[in-house]
């Protein structure tokens, strides 16, 4: 719909001037005398017809030129998309800024944060001082509400966060807090339109029909790779043993990326690098093979070269390798433990990994297990009540108990006090040179697979074994379906039951090359040596403290060097609802590090795709005004509110018509002059 200024409507009859002049010109007939042959060809029928057509075209063009001038003077306006009442005191404007992680980045040499800053300035410049203004962000909620004239611009309103958020949840909060009715309701969204931030998880309607909705859409990133995940494939990482780490990389930009550098850094040392290429919109996985030479918590990160968004080019992780293990070995006789003791000494040749003590059964009642990590029992005949209590306490504190039968033992010792079944029958001795072998298909876990590693597994023979009563927890079975190794937990501890003695009367396993690596894996399998769980900025975290740690000041040390004071609750626990920054974050009691967190952005902020314009209107309203260039935001506001003036287009039409008329008139004049 459009309207004209009535001031110039009287000029419309002026359109008839070219027609009148044309009719008068036809009466002005000029007679030219000529001989019978001289001008005959010039008066051919086709030439005369073309001349008349040219005259009619000029007539139409001159009429349209006058119409264009009249329309320019009349200032016609195309009605705006929205109904607008010019009443600033009854106007409510809500600006919601998408400050989620995906809004980081640069586009055409300007940061997305600066684009939002300029867009916000354009909005505010078009608002009257008496308009009621609300400014919110998806991660921080409402930051300001009041008169536009009282608002003081602050860059804190435009800081991009490290988490995720939801527009619909934020808008519901704004709508619920409206204190009165307004003649005009306007909503402005500054966002990259990532789909995850526009998921309506509640069934009730948003009721945006009465709102004028504007969407300032950030440009997509041209070139960007993002690391979405890092996984440690080795089930039980240990020192000086190769481990495989996979890295998942996404191309979230619009262009294919070729020959980008990716580096693996362990404890600030570059241990590997690759050159990668990924097509736009694709995901690929890459592998690094490395080894760790230190124990404890190891810092790792994968780093990509710079692109349009550097904040997702680094992924942080931990690998936890247990510190030096304390191992106690107790056997019925010293000879029973010969092969096990030698295997442990071979592993501990530099005394860095293990602290080993060896005893016989007579010393069992007096042993202190409070500082023991792994307790190995072989051929033990009976447990006193005091030893049973020690074993319970040992397992409840996270200990690892390993039991083997002795060389001549007919049955494993009873573990009924732990509610664990042992051997259900006596020793099975195979006749002559008969033997049983492992059923490869039944083996589970990395430690179990150590028994069948390569050709070694095929050569392991069992000449005798015990029948374990409970096969539900079998780790390894023989081909006759008998379990020779059960593993199950008790409280926070782990119990391994073996149905064979580690000597040559029972098996040739102690002579195999896999025997020592097997013990290495077995000892560490009861510890937490692994990649730590991945924390993200949209997750919570908590830590239980002891009384000594509560006596000191509790702080959170962030990667940028700032600290946050923490307070423990009544359960002696400190809790974070959301982790504030990406990187390595330390939890301190005084100067003591209680824990360290490896924190990364939410995966959905990396993988979610932007909505199309049609999807945006489906999610909001059909009349949503989408602006993809912040420079046109102010004019888009005016056009949507008050309409679009058309005089500029009539001016362009007038210029085009004038040029066309000049050209045709020149052709007409040339032909007339020739006559």
In the predicted structure, residue 32 carries a pLDDT above the cut 70: no
In the predicted structure, residue 251 carries a pLDDT above the cut 90: yes
Average pLDDT over residues 207-222: 91
Average pLDDT over residues 587-595: 92
HSE-CB at 465 with a 13 A cutoff on CA atoms is: 27
- Name 625's bridge partners: 214
Angle, helices 112-125 vs 633-642, to 10°: value is 40
The answer to whether 159 touches 190, Cβ cutoff 8 Å, is no
HSE-CB at 367 with a 13 A cutoff on CA atoms is: 28
Confidence of residue 158 (pLDDT cuts 50, 70, 90): confident
Report CA 580 to chain centroid distance, whole Å: 15
Whole-number pLDDT of residue 116: 92
Confidence of residue 505 (pLDDT cuts 50, 70, 90): very high
> N- to C-terminal Cα distance for the chain?
50
Return the DSSP state at 398.
Answer: T
Whole-number pLDDT of residue 421: 85
Average pLDDT over residues 470-491: 88
Ramachandran angles phi, psi of 72, nearest 5°: -60, -45
Average pLDDT over residues 460-467: 92
In the predicted structure, residue 524 carries a pLDDT above the cut 90: no
Whole-number pLDDT of residue 1: 41
Angstrom distances, CA of residue 636 to CA of 1, 641, 646: 17, 8, 14
The Cα 440–Cα 438 span in angstroms is 6
Q: Cite the DSSP H helix spans in 76-188.
A: 112-125, 167-176
Q: What percentage of the chain carries pLDDT values higher than 90? A: 50
Average pLDDT along the chain: 85
In the predicted structure, residue 66 carries a pLDDT above the cut 60: yes
Whole-number pLDDT of residue 554: 94
Whole-number pLDDT of residue 199: 87
Whole-number pLDDT of residue 57: 82
Confidence of residue 2 (pLDDT cuts 50, 70, 90): very low
- Name 585's bridge partners: 597
CB atoms closer than 10 angstroms to residue 110:
13
Confidence of residue 652 (pLDDT cuts 50, 70, 90): confident
3-state secondary structure 425-481: EEEEECCCCCCECECHHHCCHHHHHHCCCCHHHHHCCECEEEEECCCCCEEEEECCC
Whole-number pLDDT of residue 675: 47
The Cα 214–Cα 219 span in angstroms is 16
Most confident segment among 348-362, 405-419, 578-592: 578-592
Q: What percentage of the chain carries pLDDT values higher than 70? A: 84
Q: For residue 326, which of 284, 356, 282, 370 has the smallest C-alpha distance?
A: 356
In the predicted structure, residue 7 carries a pLDDT above the cut 50: no
Whole-number pLDDT of residue 4: 45
Q: For residue 169, which of 205, 212, 214, 138 has the smallest C-alpha distance?
A: 138
- Each residue of 534-588: pLDDT tens digit? 799 989 899 888 888 888 999 999 999 999 999 999 889 999 998 999 999 999 9
Q: For residue 583, which of 596, 566, 564 has the smallest C-alpha distance?
A: 596
Whole-number pLDDT of residue 440: 84
Q: Report which of residues 452 and 584 the model is more confident about.
A: 584
In the predicted structure, residue 161 carries a pLDDT above the cut 70: yes
What the chain holds in terms of domains, given with CATH numbers, is 2-79+646-674 (no CATH), 88-220+610-642 (3.40.50.410), 227-317 (2.60.40.10), 325-527 (3.40.50.880), 533-600 (2.60.40)
Whole-number pLDDT of residue 312: 96
The Cα 165–Cα 162 span in angstroms is 10
Confidence of residue 674 (pLDDT cuts 50, 70, 90): very low
């Amino acid at each position: 719909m459009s309207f004209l200024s009535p001031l110039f409507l009287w000029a419309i009859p002026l359109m008839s001037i070219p027609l009148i002049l044309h009719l008068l010109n036809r009466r002005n007939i000029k007679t030219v005398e000529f001989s019978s042959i001289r001008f005959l060809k010039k008066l051919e029928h086709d030439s005369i017809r073309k001349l008349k057509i040219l005259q009619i075209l000029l007539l139409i063009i001159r009429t349209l030129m006058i119409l264009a001038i009249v329309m320019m003077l009349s200032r016609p306006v195309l009605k705006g998309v929205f109904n607008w009442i010019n009443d600033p005191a009854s106007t409510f404007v809500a600006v919601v800024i998408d400050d989620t992680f995906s809004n980081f980045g640069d586009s055409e040499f300007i940061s997305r944060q600066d684009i939002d800053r300029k867009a916000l300035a354009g909005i505010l410049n078009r608002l009257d001082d008496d308009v009621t203004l609300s400014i919110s962000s998806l991660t921080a909620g409402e930051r300001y509400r009041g008169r536009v004239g009282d608002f003081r611009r602050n860059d804190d309103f435009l800081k991009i966060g490290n988490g995720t958020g939801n527009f619909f949840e934020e808008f519901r909060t704004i709508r619920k807090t409206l204190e009165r009715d307004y003649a005009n309701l306007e909503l402005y969204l500054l966002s990259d339109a990532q789909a995850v931030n526009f998921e309506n998880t509640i069934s009730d309607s948003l009721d945006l029909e009465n709102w004028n909705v504007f969407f300032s859409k950030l440009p997509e990133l041209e070139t960007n790779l993002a690391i979405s995940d890092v996984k440690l494939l080795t089930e039980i990482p240990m020192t000086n043993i190769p481990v495989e780490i996979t890295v998942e990389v996404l191309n979230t930009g619009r262009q294919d990326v070729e020959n980008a550098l990716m580096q693996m850094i362990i404890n600030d040392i570059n241990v590997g690098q690759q050159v990668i290429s990924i097509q736009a919109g694709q995901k690929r996985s890459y592998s690094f093979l490395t080894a760790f030479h230190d124990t404890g918590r190891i810092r790792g990160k994968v780093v990509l070269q710079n692109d349009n968004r550097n904040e997702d080019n680094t992924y942080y992780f931990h690998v936890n390798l247990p510190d030096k293990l304390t191992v106690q070995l107790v056997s019925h006789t010293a000879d029973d433990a010969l092969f096990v003791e030698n295997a442990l000494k071979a592993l501990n040749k530099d005394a860095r990994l293990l602290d080993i003590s060896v005893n016989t059964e007579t010393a069992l009642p007096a042993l202190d297990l409070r500082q023991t990590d792994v307790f190995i029992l072989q051929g033990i005949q009976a447990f006193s009540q005091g030893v049973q209590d020690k074993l319970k306490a040992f397992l409840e504190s996270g200990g690892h108990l390993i039991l083997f039968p002795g060389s001549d033992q007919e049955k494993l010792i009873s573990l009924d006090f732990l509610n664990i079944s042992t051997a259900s029958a006596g020793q099975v001795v195979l006749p002559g040179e008969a033997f049983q072998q492992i059923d490869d298909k039944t083996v589970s876990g990395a430690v179990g697979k150590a028994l069948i590693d390569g050709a070694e597994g095929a050569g392991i023979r069992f000449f005798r074994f015990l029948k374990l009563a409970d096969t539900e927890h079998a780790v390894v079975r023989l081909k006759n379906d008998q379990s020779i190794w059960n593993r199950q937990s008790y409280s926070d501890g782990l119990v391994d039951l073996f149905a064979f003695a580690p000597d040559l009367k029972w098996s040739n396993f102690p002579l195999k090359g896999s025997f020592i690596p097997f013990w290495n894996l077995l000892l560490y399998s009861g510890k937490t040596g692994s990649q730590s769980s991945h924390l993200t900025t949209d997750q919570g975290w908590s830590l239980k403290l002891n009384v000594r740690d509560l006596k000191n000041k509790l702080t959170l040390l962030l990667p940028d060097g700032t600290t946050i004071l923490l307070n423990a609750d009544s359960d002696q626990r400190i809790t974070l609802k959301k982790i504030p920054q990406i990187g390595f974050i330390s939890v301190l009691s005084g100067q003591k590090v209680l824990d360290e967190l490896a924190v990364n952005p939410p995966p959905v902020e990396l993988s979610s795709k932007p909505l199309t314009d049609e999807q945006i209107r489906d999610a909001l309203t059909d009349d949503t005004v989408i602006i993809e260039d912040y420079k046109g935001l102010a004019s888009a506001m005016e056009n949507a509110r008050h309409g679009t003036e058309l005089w500029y287009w009539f001016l362009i039409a007038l210029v085009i018509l004038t040029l066309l008329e000049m050209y045709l008139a020149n052709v007409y004049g040339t032909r007339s002059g020739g006559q």
